[in-house]
Structure 1
Amino acid sequence: MQKIKIKKYIKLFSVLFVLSVGFTSCLKDTDVAPLTGTDGSNDVIMFLDNGGSTGGGATTFADPFPLYNFSFNLVNDTAGFDVNVYYGPLNAAPQDITVQLALNKEAVDSFNIVNQIDSNSLYTVPEDDAIYSFPASVTIPKGQHLVKAHVVITGTPSYDYGANYALPISIVSTNYGIISSNFGTEINAFVVKNQYDGDYSIEGGTIQRYSAPGVPTIDDALNGDLTGNPDVDLVTVGANTLEIQGLTWHGGSSGVAGIDNLRITIDPTTNLVTVKALGNATLANINGAVNKYDPDTKTFTLNFDWNQTTTPRTVKNLTLKYAGER
């Protein structure tokens, strides 16, 4: 398996601070999961912050569990992140400590209810358990504080790129020590991007409106060169499908209307591209024109039109070049 590159989803919402008050055997509901070296009066087994220096997730502290947000690209159909299992804060593990982990679906339900998550944005656990995997147990070695449990995410055919997926993981048992009552469960939300996802600059192309087939509109400020228009976002909606967001008319002052949910699908074998719009069934590739992706330069060349038999619109030689993460 190739090395997996995990990318931050959003910037850290808040920086964890070092607690100046001591822990008791029962942590307060408002306490924040400590960093290594935090002062305290009791050692416990807990999940350590996945958003700090030892993690890749952006952190949101919310009741009843901390939420971590991950975003990454699939490499060979897999990606992943680490869950940090910690013993401390006072002492290192006095012996090898085996910690049992388990999926806790009820935790996601509780999180959605407590935080009044909108019904259209509810966090859900993937129904297909082939989408995720993580070890049932990990061992914190004697003399150490931390062990990482690696979670693998797989882009199976059933993967819903539009879902708000989350993995709620709990520490359920251990052969030594006390499990933190407050930091023994965490919610790991994740978004998977395909290899084409990103921000793209417009390096070329033209757009033309027609009042009837073969009759171009005259003195129409919306027609013309697209070079230098505002960047567009290519947003993952499938393993090889993206939605083009932010496409504008000539001059870049207003969005192109009538083609809601403009999408491209790339054949990963040939790099040929199919263009369509969920909001307009007439939109299609222009016959005989180039629609392709160049993986060496990370550039799309697109030619498409719509309303062909009434008031046609054409986009020709639209050249989109990868500019960075969106």
Structure 2
Amino acid sequence: MKKIINIVMALTFITGLSSCLKDDTIIGPDSPGAIKNIIEFKNIAPINSSPTAPVPVFIPFTLKPDAATAEIEAIVNYAGVDVAPSDIVVNLAVDPSLIATYNSKVSGAAFSQLASSSYTFPASVTIPAGQREGKFKITVKPNSFDASKENALGIKITSASSGTVSGNFGAVIFSMPLESIWQGTYSVSYSNNYGTIDANIGTFDDTGIKLSTVGPNKLQTLSVADTYSGSTTFQFNGTNTSITSVVVISGSTNFATSIQSVDIIDPINKVFGLHYTWGGRGMVEKWTRTGD
């Protein structure tokens, strides 16, 4: 695969792009000057929200639309230098206001809180003495989801028997998209041959590019033009006959995008191609699915 340019290095050539990485804990246990006794949700997947988002979003995995049940293993973490000195009981609760806040603060966000009949999880989880993590199961019923919505579940830590609940990762949103037919691994041809020409992109082919479902027929790859860190999201219509939008984000920057043409879309063989611009850069891309 093409090496993705770290944005700090890329600033020599171009401005406006940024990226941010987060460790498994807000304050790593081995970090110099780490603060003890922080209780938080641990990353169970890459963070799928920007550093400026009001609540972190995770997509544990995509769900089969016809599945009666599926389980997600979530983790609460004891962050700091030491392990838990004694059993720590962490209390949990669903919080639909997390989703309402996220939707109101993040442009284009449209998460929908799962109906209470579509999920279960325990009211508390214990981090055992001498350990750093407590694990619990979230059970969901994908075949009861509304396939037209961006299904998600907002959960918060309400209290803990010891320690301080994290202000940044004491609440999370688990996005639970139903798998699109377009999800899979692709070979892709890229060409920045019109609009603003970016010397970092050029024309090239690559393989092994993943498209993951992040909403109703909404697919995302974790790069920008397979060159910059960030994400590119393609929204297919409900009949799989067109692409209605492309969203390009790097760091906290949501670039202006437009589609000039959808050149090919073949839902049988999973091939699509289009002309689109992001931040003025014209891209011609053709995606061919090669596997799961």
What is the TM-score with the length of structure 1 in the denominator? 0.49
Do the aligned partners of 1:71 and 1:192 also contact (CA within 8 Å) in 2? no
- Among residues 27, 48, 60, which one is paired with 1:34 in the alignment? 27
Q: Deviations over 1:51-108 (max 9, x none)?
A: xxxx234432333221223432338422233322011212111111111100111111
Q: Deviations over 1:2-26 (max 9, x none)?
A: xxxxxxxxxxx743259xxxxxxxx
Do the aligned partners of 2:63 and 2:176 also contact (CA within 8 Å) in 1? no
Aligned to 1:191, the other structure's residue is in SS state coil
Matches within 5 A, 1:59-138: 59-60=48-49, 61-74=51-64, 76-115=67-106, 117-118=107-108, 121-126=109-114, 128-138=115-125
Do the aligned partners of 1:101 and 1:171 also contact (CA within 8 Å) in 2? yes
Say if 1:168 and 1:56 are closer, same or farther in 2 by CA, change over 3 A: same
Give distance in 2, aligned partners of 1:174 and 1:129. 24
Give distance in 2, aligned partners of 1:71 and 1:81. 8
Q: Deviations over 1:162-183 (max 9, x none)?
A: 2112211100012222222332
Say if 1:200 and 1:176 are closer, same or farther in 2 by CA, change over 3 A: closer
Relative contact order higher in (CA < 8 Å, ≥ 6 apart): 2
- Among residues 145, 157, 165, which one is paired with 2:132 in the alignment? 145
Do the aligned partners of 1:47 and 1:86 also contact (CA within 8 Å) in 2? yes
Say if 1:87 and 1:67 are closer, same or farther in 2 by CA, change over 3 A: same
Give distance in 2, aligned partners of 1:166 and 1:197. 21
Aligned residue number for residue 25 of structure 1:
none
| 2:155 corresponds to 1:165 | no
Kindly provide the amino acid, as one letter, of the partner of residue 95 in structure 2. Answer: N
Aligned to 1:107, the other structure's residue is in SS state helix
Aligned residue number for residue 155 of structure 1:
142
**Cα drift, residue 124 of structure 1:** 1.5
Q: Deviations over 1:265-320 (max 9, x none)?
A: xxxxxxxxxxxxxxxxxxxxxxxxxxxxxxxxxx9xxxxxxxxxxxxxxxxxxxxx
Unaligned runs of 5+ in 1: 1-12, 19-31, 202-232, 248-252, 257-261, 265-298, 300-321
Give distance in 1, aligned partners of 2:52 and 2:23. 16
- Among residues 147, 167, 183, which one is paired with 1:181 in the alignment? 167
Aligned to 2:101, the other structure's residue is in SS state helix
Give distance in 2, aligned partners of 1:14 and 1:82. 25
Do the aligned partners of 1:95 and 1:143 also contact (CA within 8 Å) in 2? yes
| 2:291 corresponds to 1:324 | yes
Do the aligned partners of 1:67 and 1:187 also contact (CA within 8 Å) in 2? yes
Unaligned runs of 5+ in 2: 1-18, 187-210, 218-237, 244-261, 270-288
Aligned residue number for residue 177 of structure 2:
191
Do the aligned partners of 2:57 and 2:173 also contact (CA within 8 Å) in 1? yes
Give distance in 2, aligned partners of 1:109 and 1:137. 24
**Cα drift, residue 143 of structure 1:** 0.2
Kindly provide the amino acid, as one letter, of the partner of residue 177 in structure 1. Answer: G
**Cα drift, residue 246 of structure 1:** 6.4
Taking only the aligned residue pairs, the percentage that are identical comes to: 23
Kindly provide the amino acid, as one letter, of the partner of residue 192 in structure 1. Answer: L
Give distance in 2, aligned partners of 1:59 and 1:108. 14
Give distance in 2, aligned partners of 1:17 and 1:71. 20
Of the structure 1 ranges 175-184 and 129-138, higher mean CA displacement relative to structure 2 is found in 175-184
Q: Which has the larger radius of gyration?
A: 1
Give distance in 1, aligned partners of 2:35 and 2:263. 61
What is the TM-score with the length of structure 2 in the denominator? 0.54
Do the aligned partners of 2:150 and 2:216 also contact (CA within 8 Å) in 1? no
Query: Alignment length, in residue pairs?
Result: 190
